[in-house]
Every structure is written in structure tokens, then in C-alpha cells.
Chain A
Amino acid sequence: MSMDPPKVLLEASFLQAVVSSEHPEHDTCTATYRDLLDQYERNEVLLVAVGDHLRTMDHGDQVTTAERVSWFLHRPRAGVFAPVDPLYVGFQHRRAADATPVDDPEVALTLVMCDRHSVRRVATVDPAYLEYDLQLLPTASGLTD
């Protein structure tokens, strides 16, 4: 039994859909995210994301080593993903992701982080997660349960 509220992992495709107004799932994902924010405010869920994915959202793809180190030591709480806690990725997680039979390395890493941090609910618009025993958000999207 965990003392923390249940974690909801915001997967890379979901993070992208929330920030990009051009994304076809943008409206659905922002609506889901708003709902998750309400739950977060009531301390009913913890919002988490894989550190690598969240850092890309904070800094973009072009990130300097200094920014990377600074972010790794302390992530500034600002912007649309201010409530989201990063799940920091260690060497052991990358090694475990490499050892999975999953083709997509990002999906493999996300699954490893879900396993290591006991995450059961994942917000995603990537159909790759359909085959795993996870509760997927958002329901309004065609891909989910």
C-alpha cells in the first residue's frame, strides 16, 4: 500500500498534444489534463512524467549540458507542466529499457519507469500502449479502453 496518491504518468505523446495546438488530439488532451489538474489540486493524484520527456518540454531538443545538469539537480516549477514531477531516468533504467523486447526505445523506457515507480495510469495518445495492462487516458480518444 502506498501512502502517496496514485500516480498518473503523462506520456511523451500526451505532453506534446497538450502543448501543440496543431495536434489532432489537442482538445481532448487539454480537457483530460484540466481534469487531472483538478484531481491534483484535491491531492487525489500525483502527476509524473519520464524525466527525459519532461525535460524536452521544458527546454526543447536543443539543450546545453549546463541546462541539463541544472534541470537534473532541480527542475524549475513553471509553465503548463508545473505540477508534474519528473521520474528521473538512471543508467539502470536505460539498461532495463534496452533489454525489453519492445521495439520503440521511448515506449520501452516509459514501461520501465511505470514498472519501477508503480504507475498504473498513463495519459497517452500513442496506440503502442494499448497492448499493456495499463489504465489509459483520455477516454474521449479513440485509442483508449
Chain B
Amino acid sequence: MSTTTEAPTDASRSLRVAVRSAVPFEWFRPVRLTLMFTYLFGYLWWLKVKGLTVDRVSVAIAVGIFLLCAFIGRSWRTWGVLLLDCVAYCTMWLAYEKTRGAADDGVSVFGLFRVKFPLQVESVRNIDKVMFFGHDPNVVLQEHFWERTVRWYDVVAGSTYMTHFVFPMIVMAALWATSHRQWARFMKRFASLLFIACIMFVVLPTAPPWMVGSPKFPYGLIPELHRNAGRGFYHIGFESFRDGYKLALSNGNGVAAMPSLHASFALIVPAFFLPWIRPKWLKALVLLFPVVMLASLVYLGEHWVIDGLVGWAITGGVFWFWNRFERRTRRRRAHMARACMPAPPAPELTPEAEVSA
């Protein structure tokens, strides 16, 4: 039996008082909107003049300023929740930055001894060769497309590559400002992905293609690759802004190729928004972005193809797990509620139903 309401008729609706007119106007709402638009213009100005903020600390400051604009006039509890969220957010990035370095030095086991996992060099290259029938995709792409002058596809590849540093953070900030529930959903997936990636960086340190081909390293498995991922991005007039203090925080790991977080982050954002996108052609277009990202990473010599595929697989697994977990949570809560209520009355059986029964 369904007892939910239908929308009221136009006649009955017209006699009613709008809730908005019955309660005082919330003056902070337009203030927040104005501040957020001002911030947007300020961000674009900064992008043009100073460049794209790419280091973690500068990005965190940029997100923090945006949140100040977006939360002005909200309740103290909302600010408290925001503060806790920020602490969790910073802890997540800090843990990520610190664990990346563990691959170089190994992992200390209770201070007794260190375990260092072997660097993967040939294995990933061989997997790529098997997938591409004996060819090295990085080498083939650079041989065919890399030129001294910057071409249009360099701009596409460079710009796509640079989105990694801001795209997920912009999405986080926008979700933070609009729906805390959706922000929490996104962050569960994002943090899980980062957590798995950190473990893999330590357990499976992998040399990227540019390193394997570089004469500075003793591998020499493939020809030397050009490495200038941002040249297409810089070519169209943008720069990347890095503040000096990021060096104090970043413990960059050159052998953190497996899995590719560039590929994972490029998939996690479209995958999150996919349920809200209705037209199939638009879904396909949105999913093209991670494909372009992986192609760019391979062309720019930053990752093996298998790095990206593993990144996508982890992203898919993370979505599968959390979607299932959230569905189960809803089901469990609903069952809990039903268990506390009296059983619904049994439907009366008609003579026909009794006969069929």
C-alpha cells in the first residue's frame, strides 16, 4: 500500500503561504554567493598572473580560502564539522606525502630491521610489451608524435596532465560547499584510493618509463624519452605556481609509478558524477577524460600503460566497495527501523486469492 502524497493541485497551492515568505530571509546566503564568485574571479586572475597552484600546501590554502567564503554565516556546529573535516583532509595528504618516501628507504619493522621491496623495472615494461605485441607504447608514441615545436596534442596532453593537481581538489571544495553528504561520499572513495596507492608505492616500487630510458640511471631498457610534461600547458601561456615551503612537506618518490594516481584521479571524478549525468553521449564524453589522461601519461613518458590500468582497476574496486557498503548501510538502518515497528496488517484475502493460494 502506498500512502505517499501527490503534489497539491494548483488551486490549493495558490492559497498557501510560501515557506520562504513566512521565515526571515537568510542574508548570509547572497553574501556567500558573492564571496564565492569573487573568489572564482580571484582564482582565475591568479591562474593567469601567477600560474596554476600545484603544490599541496598552496592548494590547501586555496581550498581553505574558498571554504571560508562558502561557510560564512553557517552554524557553529557546521564550522566544527568543517574543522574536523579539514584535519582529516590534511592528515590524509600528510600521510600520503610521507609514505611515498618509504619506498626509497624501506619500511622499519618495530625499529629492529628494515624491509625494502625490490624495484620493478623489467616486469612492468614486459607487461606493456605483451599488451602491445612487442612494442613499447611510450617509445612508439614519442617516436611518432614528439617534435621540437609544440603541437596541438602537446597542449592537450600537457593541460590534461596538469589538471591532476587541481581537478579533484576543485571537486572536493565544490562538494564541501554544496553537500556535506556528497563530500563525505567522495572522500571515502578518494581516501581509500590514496591508502591503497600508498601501500602499493611501498610494496611495489616501480620505475617510470622516463627513468628506465634515462642515461642517468643504469637500466637502459628503452631509448631515452623526452620528459617535459608541462610544455604544452606552458605553451598556451600558463605557468605552475609552487611555493618554496612545499619542499619542506613533499617527500617526493620517483619510483611511485604503480598505480598511476594521475589515471586514478582522472577516473574518480567522472565516475563519481556519472549517476547524475543522463545523456549517454555525455557519459561517454566524460569517460573519455581518463582515456585522454592515460594516453597523455604514456606519451609524456610518465607512466607505463599497466600503471594506468591498475589505477583504474583500484578506482573501480573502491567504487564497488563503497557503493555496496552504502547500500548495505541503508538496508540495515531501514531493517532496524522496521524491526521496531509493529508488523503491518496482513492483506485481506479475496475468495479468488484464497483459491489460488
**Residues of chain A at the chain B interface (Cβ within 8 Å):** 2-4, 18, 21, 28, 30-41, 43, 46, 72, 77-83, 88, 90-93, 96-97, 99-102, 108, 111-112, 114-116, 121, 130-140, 144-145
CB within 8 Å for A31 and B3 given contacts A3-B182, A82-B336: yes
Contact indicator A138/B3 (Cβ below 8 Å): yes
- For the complex of A and B, the 8 pairs showing the least CB-CB separation, nearest first, are A90-B75, A80-B340, A145-B8, A83-B333, A82-B336, A133-B16, A82-B333, A41-B334
Q: How far is the CA of A26 from the CA of B337 in the complex (A)?
A: 15
From A34, which residue of chain B is reached at the shortest CB distance? B344
What are 22 A-B interface contacts by the 8 Å CB criterion?
A2-B179, A3-B175, A3-B182, A3-B276, A4-B179, A30-B344, A31-B1, A34-B338, A35-B1, A40-B333, A40-B334, A82-B334, A90-B75, A96-B23, A100-B22, A102-B22, A115-B20, A121-B5, A130-B16, A135-B8, A137-B4, A145-B6
Contact indicator A137/B3 (Cβ below 8 Å): yes
Contact indicator A80/B341 (Cβ below 8 Å): yes
Give the total of B residues in contact with A, Cβ under 8 Å. Answer: 43
Contact indicator B23/A100 (Cβ below 8 Å): yes
Contact indicator A37/B338 (Cβ below 8 Å): yes
Q: B20-41 interface mask toward A, CB cutoff 8 Å, 1 = contact, 0 = none? A: 1011101000000000000000
A32 nearest CB across to chain B (Å): 5
Q: How far is the CA of A131 from the CA of B18 in the complex (A)?
A: 9
CB within 8 Å for A131 and B338 given contacts A72-B77, A102-B22, A112-B23: no
From B79, which residue of chain A is reached at the shortest CB distance? A90
For chain B, residues 177 to 193, give those with C-beta under 8 angstroms from any C-beta of chain A.
178-179, 181-182
Contacts of A4 in B (CB 8 A): 179, 181-182
B339 nearest CB across to chain A (Å): 9
Say yes or no for B2: interface residue by CB 8 A criterion: yes
Say yes or no for B281: interface residue by CB 8 A criterion: no
Contact of A83 among B5, B12, B337, B342 (CB under 8 A): B337
Contacts of A136 in B (CB 8 A): 5
Contact of A138 among B5, B77, B175, B179 (CB under 8 A): B5
Say yes or no for B346: interface residue by CB 8 A criterion: no
Contact indicator B3/A79 (Cβ below 8 Å): no
B279 nearest CB across to chain A (Å): 15
Say yes or no for B76: interface residue by CB 8 A criterion: yes
Say yes or no for B349: interface residue by CB 8 A criterion: no
Contacts of B20 in A (CB 8 A): 115
B175 nearest CB across to chain A (Å): 8
Contact indicator A139/B3 (Cβ below 8 Å): yes
For chain B, residues 303 to 357, give those with C-beta under 8 angstroms from any C-beta of chain A.
327, 330-331, 333-334, 336-338, 340-342, 344
Say yes or no for B144: interface residue by CB 8 A criterion: no
From A134, which residue of chain B is reached at the shortest CB distance? B19
Say yes or no for B17: interface residue by CB 8 A criterion: yes
Contact indicator B19/A111 (Cβ below 8 Å): yes
Contact indicator A145/B75 (Cβ below 8 Å): no
From B329, which residue of chain A is reached at the shortest CB distance? A77
Contact of A114 among B19, B327, B344 (CB under 8 A): B19
A24 nearest CB across to chain B (Å): 15
Q: How far is the CA of A16 from the CA of B2 in the complex (A)?
A: 21
Say yes or no for B13: interface residue by CB 8 A criterion: yes
Q: How far is the CA of A41 from the CA of B328 in the complex (A)?
A: 9
CB within 8 Å for A91 and B341 given contacts A36-B4, A145-B8: no
Contact indicator A41/B341 (Cβ below 8 Å): no
Contact of A33 among B8, B12, B341 (CB under 8 A): B341
Say yes or no for B7: interface residue by CB 8 A criterion: yes
Contacts of B178 in A (CB 8 A): 2-3
Contact of A35 among B4, B7, B13, B18 (CB under 8 A): B4
Contacts of B24 in A (CB 8 A): 96, 99-100, 112
